[in-house]
Amino acid sequence: MCRHTAWLGQPRTLAGLLLEQPSGLLQQSWAPRRQAHGTVNADGWGTAWWSAARAEPARWRSPGPVWSDASLASVAPHVSAGCVLAAVRDATTGMPADETACAPFVRGRWALSHNGVVDRAVLPARAWPAAESVCDSAVLAAWLLAAPEEIGPRVRDVAAADPGARLNVLAADGSRLVATAWGDTLSVLRTAEGVVVASEPHDDDPRWEDVPDRSLVEVDAAGVRVSPLG
Ligand code: GLN
């Protein structure tokens, strides 16, 4: 099971969000606090962020452990964005090990990460041509980002077709976040500067809220909405 996190709010650095929190994504790559499946997340990492330059996000991925990426540590303090999505990966057995299998997956202005596992056979054949990898998460991303407004219902339908699936997804388009809790942990932190949606709290701030399993989380300029998916 991988870990992911996203930010929507005032511009902040990638370093501040991902590398400098006491239990942030960097620490979660070797010592996650709430991960129920798998141990370390050393099979790659990736991040997407949005700027005024274009609608599509910038994306940076690597198949190695995030803790060994000296270039990320050097660049991350210099990159600021008001919308950021990032993930560290613990590859599912049998899935490819290259960069194209690492989240986030991108389609147009959207990017998406998946914590979990899904039987690719239950995903519609028409999702495959747009998939960036044969990795289950990439095919799932292609299916969900073909209709971003339907991420919640599509996750529910995939879960019905594969009851063993774990389907925590986290998507963003630069001005909103959409996440599901389906089989793994998910938390939300609301501050005056913005909102974090993450697999697990990146610090011990008492304002972190646990999202109930089988929920949809939507974050935009109007605020945070959590609704049941089940
Ligand atoms: N199934 C995905 C992969 O192989 C995600 C794995 C995970 O959540 N650990 O990359």
Distance 88 CA to ligand 1 centre (A): 9
The protein residue whose alpha carbon is closest to atom 10 in ligand 1 is 91
The protein residue whose alpha carbon is closest to atom 9 in ligand 1 is 1
Provide the number of structural domains found in the chain.
Answer: 1
Residue pLDDT tens, the chain, 230 long: 599 999 999 999 999 999 999 999 999 999 999 988 878 999 999 999 999 999 999 999 999 999 999 999 999 999 999 999 999 999 999 999 999 999 999 999 999 999 999 999 999 999 999 999 999 999 999 999 999 999 999 999 999 999 999 999 999 999 999 999 999 999 999 999 999 999 999 999 999 999 999 999 999 999 999 999 97
CATH number at residue 87: 3.60.20.10
Phi, psi of 59 (to 5 degrees): -135, 140
Q: Is the CB of 132 under 6 A from ligand 1?
A: no
Q: Is the CB of 168 under 6 A from ligand 1?
A: no
Which tokens belong to 173?
Answer: 């388009």
Domain range for 138: 3-228
Does residue 2 have an active-site annotation?
Answer: yes
pTM of the complete model? 0.97
CB burial of 42-75 (b: ≥16 within 10 Å; e: otherwise) equals bbbbbbbbbeeeeebbebbbbbebbbebeebeee
